[in-house]
Amino acid sequence: MPKEIIKNVSGEVKSGQMLAIMGASGAGKTTLLNVLTARNPLKLRVKGVVLLNGQAVSAETMASLSSYIEQHDLFHPFLTVREHLVFQVLVV
C-alpha cells in the first residue's frame, strides 16, 4: 500500500527572502526539498507541479537551478559561507 509522505504543500518565497523549513525528524523536510530541487534518490512516485515565478517548471530546469546542503554537512571555521557552499558542491 503506497504511503503519502507529504500532501497538499504550497508556499511562496519572494526574491531576497530567507526561508527556514523546520520540523521533527521524519516530518518530510528532506522529501520536500528533494521534490523542489527535482532530486529523487529513493525513486518515489511524485505527483504535482513545481512553479517558479508562477510558471510550471520542468524537473531538469529545477535541478539545474537549485540545490541544498544536507544536515550532515562539514563545517570548517576558516571558510566563509560562500566557500562552504562551493566546498559542499565539490565533495558531493
Domain residue extents for the chain: 1-91
Closest-CA residue to 87 (of 66, 64, 34, 79):
79
pLDDT at residue 71, rounded to an integer: 65
- For 8, 50, 92, the CA distances from 56, given in Å and listed in that order, are 16, 6, 28
> Global pTM?
0.64
Listed as ranges, residues in the chain with pLDDT below 50 are none
pLDDT at residue 73, rounded to an integer: 57
52-67 pLDDT, tens per residue?
A: 888 999 988 988 888 7
Closest-CA residue to 32 (of 61, 65, 60, 4):
4
pLDDT at residue 28, rounded to an integer: 85
- Give every CB contact of residue 44 below 8 A, 6+ residues apart in sequence: 5, 31
pLDDT at residue 27, rounded to an integer: 86
pLDDT at residue 92, rounded to an integer: 60
